[in-house]
Amino acid sequence: MSEISKFFHVVTFGCQMNVHETEKIKGKLASLNMKETLDIKKADVVVFNTCCIREKAEDKAYNQIVKMKKLKEKNPNMIIVVCGCMPQQPKGKYNLKEKLPFVDVIVGTHNVNSIADHVKALLGERKRVYEIIEKPVASMDTPNCIRDDKYNAYVNIIYGCNKFCTYCIVPHVRGREQSRPAKEIYEEVKDLVQNKGYRFITLLGQNVNSYGKDLKSKMTFASLLESLCKIEGDFKIKFMTSHPMDFGEDLIKVMKNENKVAKALHLPVQSGSSKILFKMNRHYDIKHYMSLIKKVKRAIPEISLSTDIIVGFPGETEKDFNQTLKLLKKVKYDQVFAFMYSKRTGTPACEFADQIDEKVKNVRLNKLLRLQKIIEKDQNKKYFNKTYNCLIKFVNGVTMGITDGGKDIYIPNYKYKNENYFASVKVEEIRDHKLSGVIDE
C-alpha cells in the first residue's frame, strides 16, 4: 500500500442505491489509505454521487458542485469527482464536461468502481478524466464498503431496469437488468449477519421482483429470499423496490411464512387512474393493483404498506387525480412518497403534448400530502395497545423500538444497557405522531 494519508468527503444525492454505492466508494478510497472527513473544506478528495430522477435533484447537485469552484481556487490540489446518474444521461440538462472545467474526474454509473484508481493516479500526475461507458466494466460489489448505518445493511441483488416506464430516466442511466449471482448475495448476507452484527438486511434493486430472470439458474426473487432466510442468526430482511406487475403470489407466501422477512412492503402505484397507468407504460391497471393489495393484506394483516405517487403526469385530469386520492383512502398506506412529474429529456413522456401546468401540479401535490397526513394520523390509532417485534436502538440518548415498517416507538422507561436486538414492544400512548411504549416481557 502506498503512503498516501489524505482525507476524502463524499456528498450523496438520490435513492438507497446511491447511498449504498457511496458506501462502496468510501471503502475503496479508504483502501488507498485515506480517511473520511465530515468537513468538506479539509478534504483532499471530494466526490459528488449524483441523481437525475427529477429536475430538482439535478439542480440541487449541480448548484452544490458549482460552489466548489471557489474552494478549488483556494486549494488547487483538491481533487473533485462527479459520478453517478447525472453524467450518465445521454442528453442531460447540464453538460457537465464543459460547464464544470474545475472537476477532475467525471464517471457514470457503470464505472464508479474506477474512481479510486483515478484518484490514485491523480495524486501523482494531474490530468482530467472524463469516462462514461455504456456497460458495467466489473462488479461494483466490494467487501470493503464503509456502511453508514450499524443496524441496517444494504445489499445489491439486481442492477438496472428493463421496464421503461415512460416518465423514467433510470433505464437510460442504469442500463439493463443484471442479477448478482445468488451465492455471492448469500455469502455477503451471511457475513453481515454473523460477523458484522447487522439485524436488518435491505436487498436493493430497481425491480427486485425481476431477480433471476437473466440468470441460467431457476432462481426467482421468492426463492432467493427463502434461501437467505436459512442463514442462522437473529435478523430480518427487507427489500425494495417491487413492481406490481412482477409481484406474485409466491412472494406473498414467502413473506407470510418466513419470520425473517420483515412485514413491510413498498409497492409503488404511481397513479390511481388506469388511463394514466397505461400512458406510463406500467403494465397493470388499478384492478390488478388493488387485487394484489387485498391478497397481501389478507395473508399478512399486520403488513406495513408504502408507495410512490407521481402527480401531474401528462394528460392527468382532475378526475384522474381524484382517483389517486380515492386509492389512498382505500389502501391507507403507512407512508407515501409523492412527487410532481418532472420532464426527463430522452424519455417518451417528455414529448407528450398534454403537459400539466406547474401550478396545477403543485396544488395537486399539496392536496395529496394533506390527505395522506390525515390518513397517517388515523392509521397511528391502529398501533394502540398492540405489541410489535421491534429492533431496539439507542438514538441520541433515547431508546426506541423500530417496527418492520420503520415506525419509531419511544421507550421512555428503558432499564437495560443493550441495544441492537429484537424485542416485543407494546404501544401504550399515542400523542400527535409520536408513539410510546414498553418492552413486553
- Contact positions toward ligand 5AD, by CB under 6 A? 53-54, 167-168, 268, 270, 308, 310, 339, 341-342, 344
Least gap, CB of 338 to ligand 5AD (angstroms): 8
Residue of 8, 14, 210, 300 that binds ligand SF4 (CB under 6 A): 14
Closest to ligand 5AD by CB, 199 vs 243, is 243
Among positions 45, 51, 158, 438, the unique one binding ligand SF4 when judged by CB under 6 A: 51
Q: Which of residues 274-293 bind ligand SF4 (CB under 6 A)?
A: none
Residue with Cβ nearer ligand SF4 (51 or 435): 51
Q: Which stretch binds ligand SF4 (CB under 6 A): 46-54, 68-76, 361-369, 430-438?
A: 46-54
Q: Which residues contact 49 (CB under 8 A, 6 or more apart)?
A: 10, 11, 12, 13, 14, 18, 21, 22, 25, 83, 84, 112
- In the complex with ligand 5AD, the residue whose CB is nearer, 310 or 392, is 310
CA–CA separation, 365 and 356 (whole Å): 13
Characterize 388-401 residue by residue with b for buried, 16 or more Cβ atoms within 10 angstroms of its Cβ, and e for exposed.
bbbbbbeeeeebbb
What is the per-residue binding string for ligand SF4 in 335-354, x denoting contact by CB under 6 A?
--------------------
**Cβ of residue 366: shortest distance to ligand 5AD, in angstroms?**
16
Closest by Cα among 25, 22, 11, 101 to 57:
11
- What distance in Å separates the CA atoms of residue 189 and residue 207, rounded to the nearest whole number? 19
Q: Is 208 in the site for ligand SF4 (CB under 6 A)?
A: no
Residue 140 contact among ligand SF4, ligand 5AD, none, beta carbon within 5 to 8 Å by kind: none
Smallest gap from Cβ 21 to ligand 5AD, in A, equals 16
Q: Does 170 bind ligand SF4 (CB under 6 A)?
A: yes
Distance CA 48, CA 106 (A): 10
* 358 three-class SS: helix
Report d(CA 282, CA 247) in Å as an integer.
Answer: 13
How far apart CA 423 and CA 420 sit, in angstroms, is 10
Beta strands in 124-209 (DSSP E): 129-131, 152-156, 158-159, 178-179, 200-204
Q: What's the closest the beta carbon of residue 156 comes to ligand 5AD, in angstroms?
A: 16
Q: Which of the choices ligand 5AD, ligand SF4, none does residue 115 contact, using the CB cut-off of 5 to 8 A by kind?
A: none
In the chain, what's the furthest Cα-to-Cα distance?
65
CB of 52 to ligand 5AD, least distance (A): 9
| Residue 411, contacted partner among ligand SF4, ligand 5AD, none, CB below 5-8 A by kind | none
Q: Which residue's CB is nearer to ligand 5AD, number 337 or number 384?
A: 337
198 binds, among ligand 5AD, ligand SF4, none (CB under 5 to 8 A by kind): none
Question: Which one, 159 or 235, has the nearer CB to ligand 5AD?
Answer: 159
Q: Which stretch binds ligand SF4 (CB under 6 A): 13-21, 60-68, 276-284, 384-392?
A: 13-21
DSSP one-letter code for 97: H
Q: Which is nearer to ligand SF4, 220 or 307 (CB)?
A: 307
Measuring CA to CA, which residue among 414, 413, 404, 412 is closest to residue 434? Answer: 412
Q: What angle do CA 264, 266, 272 make, to 5 degrees?
A: 130
Phi, psi of 137 (to 5 degrees): -90, -30
Residue from 18, 242, 307, 323 that binds ligand SF4 (CB under 6 A)?
A: 18
Q: Name the segment binding ligand SF4 (CB under 6 A); options: 29-37, 95-103, 165-173, 384-392.
A: 165-173
3-state secondary structure of 94: coil
Closest separation in Å from C-beta 305 to ligand SF4: 21
Nearer to ligand 5AD, 221 or 341 (CB): 341
Closest residue to ligand SF4, based on beta-carbon distance: 14
> Residue 90 in 3-state DSSP?
coil
Please name the residues in contact with 405: beta carbons below 8 A apart, sequence gap of 6 or more: 262, 263, 264, 304, 305, 306, 334, 335
Give CA–CA dist 155/301, Å, rounded: 27
Please state the three-class secondary structure of 362-388 as a single string. Answer: HHHHHHHHHHHHHHHHHHHHHHCCCEE
Strand arrangement, sheet containing 7-12: 35-36, 7-12, 45-50, 79-84, 105-107, 129-131
Contacting residue, 61, 65, 85, 269, with ligand SF4 by CB under 6 A: 85
Binding site for ligand SF4 (CB under 6 A): 14-15, 17-18, 51-53, 84-85, 169-170, 173-174
